[in-house]
C-alpha cells in the first residue's frame, strides 16, 4: 500500500471514531499525494455530505467520476439530486422555528431523515426543537447520533449541556455557568443555509464557540445611554477598513476612477474588491457611466454580497478572529435593509463584540436588535446577556432587562438565580 493509501486508512479510522474534521484533513493529504485515489475522493465527498456541504461533496464525486470513471461516485451524484428537496425542507424548518412553529419544523425535519445529507445539522435542529418543547428524552438520541459522527460538534455538545441543566441527565446544576445555549445553536445552523445555490449556497458547517465572560467588567466601562444612533455610526467608522482616498498633498492631480478594474471585479463577483471600490468612490463626483457602475456594484452587494460577507464574518468568528468578523459584518449591515439576514447580522456583530470583551459595542448592537426586532429569534438570549453585562455596573438597567425577560418569556430557560436576584 502506498503512502496515500495508508493516510486514507487513517482518515477512515478517524471517521469511524467520530473525528470528522480530522478525517477530512487526512483525506486532503491522501488526495494531495495521489489525485487518483478514488477511495479518498469518495470518503471526502461523504464527509462533506454529512456536514451539509452539498456543493463540495458533489465536486469530489464529480472529480472521481470523470478522472477514475468511478461508478460509486456516479451513484452518489445521481442520488444527490433528490437532496435539493431536503435542503428546501430544512430551510422551511428554520423559517417555521423562527415563527415559533416547533411542531411544523419537526414535521418538515422528519421528511429530511430519508437521506443522510446534512445529517449532523438535521439532527442538531431536531434535538433543539425537542428541547424548545421541553421533551428532553426525545432530544437525547439525536444529540448522541451527532456525537457519534462528530464528537467535537459544538452544537450537539451545547444541546447536551442544556439537557444537563434542564433535563434528566445527571450533574449538579451550577446556574452561574449557564450561558447562551439556544442562540448559539440557532446561529450555527442558520449559517449553513445562506448563499446563492438554489437560492441558498450551502457552505461548510460553521461552529461558533461563545467565549465565556471571565471576571467582572471594569467599572470604568459604561453602557450606552441616550440616542444610540450616534455611537453606532462612530463605531462603524472605527471598525471599517481604511478607505483609500486621493492624496491631498497633490491638489492638481485627480485620482482616476478605476473603471476597468472595477468592471473586472463586478464581472468576476470579487466581493472584496467591489466593496472597497464602492466605499472609496460612492460619495465622489463621477461621470454618468461611473455612477452607473457604482449602482450596479451596490446591487451585487445586496443580492450576493450580504451573504458572502455574513459567511466570511461567521468563519472568522469560528477562528476567534473577532476583529475581522466585525469588519465583514459591518460590510454587510448597511446593505441589509429588507434582507432576511439583517437580524442575524446585527446579532452576530453584537456577539463578536461580546466575545472580544468589547461590551460597550456589544450593548449598542444588542439594544439595536431589540429595538428593530423586539420579538425576534434572539430576543430572549439578548435580554439575558444584557442582564449579565449590566448586573455589576448598572443594577437598575439589569433589573429592567430582567423584568422584560420574565414578562416576554415567562417560561424562559434563563430564569435562574441571577435573574431572580435582579428582580429582588
- Over residues 392-401, the pLDDT tens digits come to 888 899 999 9
Q: SS3 of 201, please?
A: coil
Q: How far is it, in rounded angstroms, from Cα 291 to Cα 91?
A: 37
Categorize the per-residue pLDDT at 423 as very low, low, confident or very high, splitting at 50, 70 and 90. Answer: confident
Q: What percent of the chain has pLDDT over 70?
A: 79
- Per-residue pLDDT, 173: 36
Among 104-113, 235-244, 277-286, name the one with the lowest average pLDDT: 235-244
Report helix, strand and coil shares of the chain as percent, to nearest 5.
70, 0, 30
- Per-residue pLDDT, 370: 93
Query: In the predicted model, what is the mean pLDDT of residues 170-198?
Result: 39
Phi, psi of 55 (to 5 degrees): -60, -50
Cell representation of residue 328: 465583514
Q: How far is it, in rounded angstroms, from Cα 325 to Cα 306?
A: 13
Q: Are 212 and 322 in contact (CB under 8 A)?
A: no
Instruction: Check whether 294 has a pLDDT greater than 60.
Output: yes
Contacting residues for 269 by C-beta, under 8 A, at least 6 apart: 300, 304
Q: 306 or 197: whose pLDDT is higher?
A: 306
| Residue (of 154, 160, 162) closest to 189 by Cα position | 154
- Per-residue pLDDT, 289: 85
Categorize the per-residue pLDDT at 93 as very low, low, confident or very high, splitting at 50, 70 and 90. Answer: confident
1.10.287, 1.20.120, 1.10.3470, 1.25.40: which CATH number matches 84-199? 1.25.40
Query: Strands (DSSP E) along 325-387, which ranges?
Result: none
Cα–Cα distances (Å) from 310 to 56, 63, 194, 203, 327, in that order, read 19, 29, 8, 12, 10
The pTM of this model reads: 0.44
- Per-residue pLDDT, 253: 54
CATH topology of domain 3-81: 1.25.40
Among 19-28, 30-39, 65-74, 188-197, name the one with the lowest average pLDDT: 188-197
Q: Are 406 and 424 in contact (CB under 8 A)?
A: no
- The total of other beta-carbon atoms located within 10 Å of residue 82's CB is 11
Q: How far is it, in rounded angstroms, from Cα 95 to Cα 306?
A: 19
Contacting residues for 378 by C-beta, under 8 A, at least 6 apart: 183, 186, 343, 347, 369
Please, how many CA atoms are within 13 Å of residue 86, restricted to the half-sphere of its CB?
A: 23
- Per-residue pLDDT, 23: 92
Positive or negative: CA dihedral 316, 317, 320, 322: positive
- The total of other beta-carbon atoms located within 10 Å of residue 251's CB is 8
Location of each CATH 1.25.40.10 domain in the chain: 3-81, 229-423
- The total of other beta-carbon atoms located within 10 Å of residue 57's CB is 25
Q: How far is it, in rounded angstroms, from Cα 331 to Cα 344?
A: 14
pLDDT in tens, 346-393: 999 999 999 888 989 999 999 999 999 988 888 998 999 999 898 888
DSSP letter (8 states) at residue 114: T
| Residue (of 35, 34, 26) closest to 1 by Cα position | 34
Instruction: Check whether 79 has a pLDDT greater than 90.
Output: no
| Residue (of 303, 345, 309, 344) closest to 324 by Cα position | 309
Contacting residues for 327 by C-beta, under 8 A, at least 6 apart: 239, 240, 241, 313
Q: SS3 of 399, please?
A: helix
3.30.565.10, 1.25.40.10, 3.40.50.1240, 3.40.605.10: which CATH number matches 229-423? 1.25.40.10
Amino acid at each position: 500500500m502506498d503512502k496515500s493509501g495508508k493516510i486514507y486508512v487513517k482518515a477512515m479510522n478517524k471517521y469511524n471514531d467520530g473525528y470528522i474534521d480530522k478525517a477530512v484533513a487526512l483525506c486532503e493529504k491522501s488526495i494531495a499525494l495521489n489525485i487518483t485515489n478514488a477511495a479518498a475522493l469518495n470518503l471526502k465527498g461523504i464527509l462533506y455530505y454529512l456536514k451539509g456541504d452539498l456543493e463540495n461533496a458533489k465536486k469530489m464525486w464529480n472529480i472521481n467520476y470523470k478522472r477514475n470513471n468511478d461508478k460509486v461516485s456516479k451513484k452518489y451524484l445521481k442520488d444527490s439530486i433528490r437532496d435539493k428537496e431536503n435542503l428546501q425542507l430544512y430551510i422551511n424548518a428554520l423559517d417555521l422555528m423562527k415563527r415559533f412553529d416547533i411542531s411544523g419544523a419537526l414535521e418538515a425535519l422528519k421528511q429530511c431523515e430519508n437521506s443522510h445529507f446534512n445529517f449532523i445539522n438535521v439532527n442538531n435542529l431536531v434535538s433543539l426543537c425537542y428541547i424548545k418543547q421541553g421533551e428532553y428524552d426525545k432530544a437525547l438520541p439525536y444529540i448522541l447520533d451527532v456525537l457519534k459522527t462528530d464528537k467535537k460538534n459544538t452544537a450537539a455538545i451545547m444541546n447536551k449541556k442544556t439537557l444537563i441543566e434542564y433535563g434528566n441527565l445527571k450533574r449538579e446544576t451550577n446556574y452561574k455557568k449557564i450561558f447562551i445555549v439556544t442562540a448559539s445553536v440557532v446561529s450555527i445552523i442558520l449559517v449553513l443555509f445562506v448563499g446563492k445555490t438554489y437560492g441558498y449556497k450551502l457552505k461548510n458547517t460553521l461552529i461558533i464557540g461563545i467565549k465565556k465572560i471571565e471576571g467582572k467588567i471594569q467599572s470604568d466601562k459604561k453602557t450606552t445611554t441616550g440616542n444610540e444612533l450616534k455611537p453606532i455610526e462612530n463605531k462603524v467608522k472605527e471598525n471599517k477598513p481604511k478607505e483609500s482616498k486621493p492624496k491631498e498633498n497633490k491638489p492638481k492631480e485627480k485620482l482616476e476612477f478605476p473603471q476597468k478594474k472595477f468592471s473586472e471585479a463586478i464581472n468576476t463577483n470579487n466581493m472584496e474588491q467591489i466593496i472597497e471600490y464602492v466605499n472609496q468612490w460612492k460619495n465622489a463626483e463621477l461621470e454618468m457611466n461611473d455612477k452607473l457602475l457604482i449602482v450596479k456594484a451596490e446591487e451585487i452587494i445586496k443580492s450576493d454580497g450580504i451573504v458572502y460577507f455574513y459567511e466570511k464574518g461567521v468563519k472568522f468568528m469560528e477562528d476567534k478572529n473577532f476583529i475581522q468578523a466585525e469588519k465583514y459584518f459591518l460590510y454587510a449591515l448597511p446593505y441589509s435593509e429588507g434582507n432576511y439576514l439583517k437580524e442575524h447580522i446585527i446579532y452576530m456583530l453584537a456577539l463578536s463584540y461580546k466575545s472580544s470583551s468589547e461590551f460597550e459595542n456589544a450593548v449598542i448592537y444588542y439594544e439595536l436588535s431589540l429595538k428593530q426586532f423586539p420579538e425576534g429569534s434572539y430576543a430572549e438570549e439578548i435580554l439575558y446577556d444584557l442582564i449579565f453585562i449590566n448586573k455589576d455596573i448598572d443594577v437598575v438597567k439589569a433589573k429592567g432587562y430582567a423584568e422584560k425577560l420574565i414578562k416576554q418569556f415567562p417560561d424562559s430557560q434563563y430564569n435562574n438565580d441571577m435573574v431572580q436576584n435582579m428582580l429582588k
